Structure 1
Amino acid sequence: MKGFKMLLAFVVAFCLASPAYAHAAGKPSEEKTPVNLEHLNFLNEDVTIDGVDMLITHIYSEAPDYKWVDASGEGIACVDDVARAAVVYLNDYEENGNKDSLENAKKALNFVMHMQADDGEFYNFVNKDLSINTDGPTSKKSFDWWAARAMWAMGQGYGVFKKADPAYAAKLKDSFLLANQALQKKVNENYGEYKNVHGYRVPVWIGGFDAMSNALLGLAYFYEVEPLASVKNSMKKVGRGLDEFQYGSYTQYPYGAHLGWDGSPTLWHAWGSGQSFALAKAGRVLGEKKWVKSAQQEADQLFSHLLVTGMIKEMAPTMAKDEQIAYGVNMLTQGFAEVFKATKDPKYAQYAGLAASWFTGNNDANAVMYDSKTGRGYDGLNGVTGKVNWNSGAESTIEALMALQMVNSIPKAEKLLHAKTVKRHTAVVDEAEDFDTVLGMPETVTPESSWTGDASYSGKIVRLGDSDVISKKVTVDKSGLYLLSGALVREAGSAGKLDVQVDVRNVSFMKVLPSPDTNFLTLVNAEHPVYLSKGVHELKLKFKGEELLLDNVVLQPAVEYAMFKNEGKTMIFERDLLKGRNLLK
């Protein structure tokens, strides 16, 4: 829930962004990027509750003075952020032996344990008087995002403090195992059961798959140092659910993505999508090769595609580049890095470095999104307008620091941290409303809302009737095979066919099957790849059936690539989708 609040704040902040300030703060740097904890330390406040020294992390920090800003109506600090701050400090202690970071981690973990209820679940926010917000929808006692993040912090903390402070580790263990009982209660209620959503088989015992990836991480960290049967049992159940909610391939939507919400087989969002990170880690710890393969699939198919297209906010099914945030970029970085650790294949370390280069200016705004001089991680950018949100809240700072910590610990990743994309050859989206009418009476429709209930329209849509024909001039920048697909609504009880013609040649068609339940927006591939020469072509679409709602058409090169400059050298990352092969050369 907190993520949606953050996105709302993000949109508001864009309206206030200052281009002059953005230019000054976004100047690229070629120097190695150090991990600077200064701003995170500033966001923290030492407090004492019930005689116990704790640390809270203030949620927002706004440009230009970067003072603390509270979350209106929620509180001044939350487990969501403090637990992640604890992870940053634990990482710093493990990497650098920093005793101050160990102490900060301990105080942060004290706060996390303070927010745990007797049944193992967690509250999230504290008010200004440090009382617990027990009523807010983003704070109520539950096993939700904040509980899962608490498990990650406590699980990793247990491994660190078992060596550094065994007595304190014992307290963490008790709280962790109590949380595990709450997790077991959650997953056991419907364990092994499935539901059918638009023809997809969806596990029902997880709920928020993205959120529960944090719990799996905590379980894996704990099990590494103390392999308890109860912890392994939870790992097996959560890992199974995350592994099974994955669909697609190199060419088939959603491209091997681990989806986050059990209500949609269409929506994937970057923020919080730590399933590959967690599955690779847990798979390595338990020897579950299937989980590692599952993480590797998403890394090879979706994540690698994003290295070519550039970062996105989400796909639902059209890729949206507007609200790019550190939390999304870090999930790609951590996923690649953990797959590297699990497979020992150095290409994934390189991919992690390329993903993290977003922070050093390799993004759609050409803005440095992590300032190594101040330690600020900035709150996001709009890849369409190029505007940057120069606020620097807890989440953005923490996620940036996590990404830098991981990349700096892997030489092959760190080497590519300052890479810059200089050319892309990738998918182009042509909106249906931009097509011209050739035959019939196609109707352009403005949806009441872009959100359908489980997916999102990219703009206006076109209603096609039987034998309606529309066309558009499209420009191809490189000769080769192309894959065509349409973002369209599959309707219950209604089937049809969308014929594809290029320059008066019938080249392929999209088979529009009826939905097995309710109407839903998805991406449907044309049956055959199409060869297109470089230049301008007329793309013509003819619908046969009762009715079709068409959102857009995607023209995807069968061989896509991105060209990078790094340390004076040029690299090309090439992806052959039909052969299922990626190559960085």
Structure 2
Amino acid sequence: MRSHLQTAVPFPETVNMPPETALPPFHPEHLLNMTDTTGIIQHALRITPNRKEGYCTDDNSRALLLTAMAWQHGRYPEALKLMSVYLSFIHYMQMDDGYFHNFMRYDKQIIFDGSSEDAYGRTMMALGYLVEHGPSPQLIRTAEDIFLKAAPHLDGLISLRGIANSLIGVCSFARSHASGTQLINSIVHMADKLVHEYNRYTDDSWCWFEEVLTYDNAIIPLALLHAFEITRQDAYLHIAEEAISFLESKVFHDDILYPVGNNGWCSKGGTTALFDQQPLDAMAMVLFYQQALHVTDDQQYLYKMKQSWQWFMGANALGLPLYDEQTGGCADGLQADRVNENQGAESTLSFWISYFAVAKYYTDK
């Protein structure tokens, strides 16, 4: 272990769960409110869909992932209906070469902006999950077709988050198929890219994949956990655990999650911005701990997963919930003095994806 980890916030020797807010029932009203026959609209004016901002593949991919998780957990009929809408949007946004446009105006005109590796990666993650856990052979085969058409772009990815999300998707795809050489090679190739960047930037005081902590941080070590599950290469597990310990030293204070603020981020040698905190980051922490618990069976990860989940429910810097039990939506962020009133797609989807990640650990108690 790197020397800085000796001063990171440790897990308690005996795991005592923090006071827990009861798991609310699944409440898809705001998801339904934000979704029309085309897809889910990006942004909201408080709880009103902001049609002027249109749609994006990023959010429709997250929405597809959520519906697959919701169906897997509870066979919710709303999830099955929405799943077809989001999958259809992704199919429409796929280019002839397999890549994906990211933005569409409300009048259904695609914005040609060069697209985004992040959007590509999140789409591959959602498609891979649907292939692994889909509710019907027809939906699974459609997801497979879109996934395989996009797959030739995997090896050329540069963005760390594009690589990480894609890697998670490929691992999901591999779990549902006989692990052929090509799939395993893609997994190792992408995982090794992340390892290379980790070794490039890491020293005794900084254990991370780049020189700054920004958004969606935990998704990067999460990808290595998925790669470890498939390949059983211990280096992937070791780096994932070392990196998350470093991240914890920056974002956990007195057992409360403080996601890195977007007003300055956290640069190597600098301070960590406290605000604004974003739901996407809490979701990434929840998903990391869920997978870490799965591959290691270390119950201390359950403790951290529930801590991260409780950020949405009020165990945060301001002691205020971001989840709105009236609408089923989630605030767009935690600001220095208040909760952001807007309940956009990304934040609401982040909440519900986190919800289904932790749900079994509440219902099994």
TM-score (norm 2): 0.85
Seen in structure 2, the aligned counterparts of structure 1 residues 71 and 215 have a Cα distance that, compared at 3 Å, is farther
Which consecutive residues of structure 1, in runs of 5 or more, have no partner in the other structure?
1-27, 48-55, 187-205, 260-265, 416-585
- Give 1:352 deviation, angstroms: 0.9
Q: Taking CA–CA contacts closer than 8 Å with sequence separation of 6 or more, which of the two structures ends up with the larger relative contact order?
A: 2
Aligned pair partner of 2:311 in 347, 358, 377: 358
Report if the CA contact (8 A) 1:59-1:71 is conserved. Answer: no
**2:180 corresponding residue in structure 1:** 228
Question: Where in structure 2 are the equivalents of 1:207-286 lying within 5 Å?
Answer: 207-226=158-177, 227-246=179-198, 252-254=204-206, 256-259=207-210, 266-271=211-216, 273-286=218-231
- Give 1:129 deviation, angstroms: 2.2
**1:328 corresponding residue in structure 2:** 281
Aligned pair partner of 1:315 in 266, 275, 298: 266
**1:38 and 2:29 matched:** yes
**1:342 corresponding residue in structure 2:** 295
Structure 1, residues 5-63: CA drift from partner, whole Å, max 9, x if none?
xxxxxxxxxxxxxxxxxxxxxxx99443333222112111113xxxxxxxx10111122
Query: Which residue type is aligned with residue 97 of structure 2?
Result: D
Seen in structure 2, the aligned counterparts of structure 1 residues 114 and 231 have a Cα distance that, compared at 3 Å, is farther
Seen in structure 2, the aligned counterparts of structure 1 residues 245 and 411 have a Cα distance that, compared at 3 Å, is farther
**1:565 corresponding residue in structure 2:** none
Query: Which residue type is aligned with residue 235 of structure 1?
Result: I
Question: Where in structure 2 are the equivalents of 1:291-306 lying within 5 Å?
Answer: 291-303=236-248, 305-306=250-251
Seen in structure 2, the aligned counterparts of structure 1 residues 123 and 30 have a Cα distance that, compared at 3 Å, is closer
- Give 1:110 deviation, angstroms: 1.6
- Give 1:280 deviation, angstroms: 1.0
- Give 1:286 deviation, angstroms: 2.7
Report if the CA contact (8 A) 2:250-2:272 is conserved. Answer: no
How far apart, CA to CA, are the structure 1 residues paired with 2:342 and 2:279? Answer: 12
**1:67 and 2:40 matched:** no
CA root-mean-square deviation? 2.4
- Give 1:165 deviation, angstroms: 2.5
- Give 1:349 deviation, angstroms: 1.1
Report if the CA contact (8 A) 2:20-2:310 is conserved. Answer: no
Question: Where in structure 2 are the equivalents of 1:11-410 lying within 5 Å?
Answer: 30-47=21-38, 56-63=39-46, 66-70=47-51, 72=53, 76-134=54-112, 136=113, 140-141=114-115, 144-161=117-134, 164-184=135-155, 186=156, 206-226=157-177, 227-246=179-198, 252-254=204-206, 256-259=207-210, 266-271=211-216, 273-303=218-248, 305-308=250-253, 310-311=257-258, 312-313=260-261, 314-316=265-267, 317-382=270-335, 385-410=336-361
Query: Which residue type is aligned with residue 33 of structure 1?
Result: P
How far apart, CA to CA, are the structure 1 residues paired with 2:193 and 2:351? Answer: 28
Report if the CA contact (8 A) 2:188-2:227 is conserved. Answer: no
Seen in structure 2, the aligned counterparts of structure 1 residues 150 and 348 have a Cα distance that, compared at 3 Å, is same
**2:5 corresponding residue in structure 1:** none
- Give 1:391 deviation, angstroms: 0.7
How far apart, CA to CA, are the structure 2 residues paired with 1:168 and 1:405? Answer: 21
How far apart, CA to CA, are the structure 2 residues paired with 1:71 and 1:267? Answer: 33
Which consecutive residues of structure 2, in runs of 5 or more, have no partner in the other structure?
1-18
Report if the CA contact (8 A) 2:61-2:123 is conserved. Answer: yes
Question: Where in structure 2 are the equivalents of 1:514-553 lying within 5 Å?
Answer: none
Report if the CA contact (8 A) 1:210-1:274 is conserved. Answer: yes
How far apart, CA to CA, are the structure 2 residues paired with 1:299 and 1:141? Answer: 29
Give the SS at the match of 1:242.
helix
Give the SS at the match of 1:128.
coil
Report if the CA contact (8 A) 1:376-1:397 is conserved. Answer: yes
- Give 1:214 deviation, angstroms: 0.9
Report if the CA contact (8 A) 1:36-1:375 is conserved. Answer: yes
Give the SS at the match of 1:320.
coil
Report if the CA contact (8 A) 1:83-1:108 is conserved. Answer: yes
- Give 1:141 deviation, angstroms: 4.3
Query: Which residue type is aligned with residue 130 of structure 2?
Result: G
Seen in structure 2, the aligned counterparts of structure 1 residues 272 and 70 have a Cα distance that, compared at 3 Å, is farther
Q: Which has the larger strand fraction?
A: 1
Give the SS at the match of 2:36.
strand
Query: Which residue type is aligned with residue 257 of structure 1?
Result: W
- Give 1:111 deviation, angstroms: 1.1
**1:456 corresponding residue in structure 2:** none
Seen in structure 2, the aligned counterparts of structure 1 residues 308 and 325 have a Cα distance that, compared at 3 Å, is same
Report if the CA contact (8 A) 1:81-1:394 is conserved. Answer: yes
How far apart, CA to CA, are the structure 1 residues paired with 2:41 and 2:68? Answer: 19
Seen in structure 2, the aligned counterparts of structure 1 residues 145 and 30 have a Cα distance that, compared at 3 Å, is closer
Give the SS at the match of 1:381.
coil
Give the SS at the match of 2:91.
helix
Larger-Rg structure:
1
Structure 1, residues 463-522: CA drift from partner, whole Å, max 9, x if none?
xxxxxxxxxxxxxxxxxxxxxxxxxxxxxxxxxxxxxxxxxxxxxxxxxxxxxxxxxxxx
How far apart, CA to CA, are the structure 2 residues paired with 1:404 and 1:281? Answer: 20
How far apart, CA to CA, are the structure 2 residues paired with 1:235 and 1:29? Answer: 37
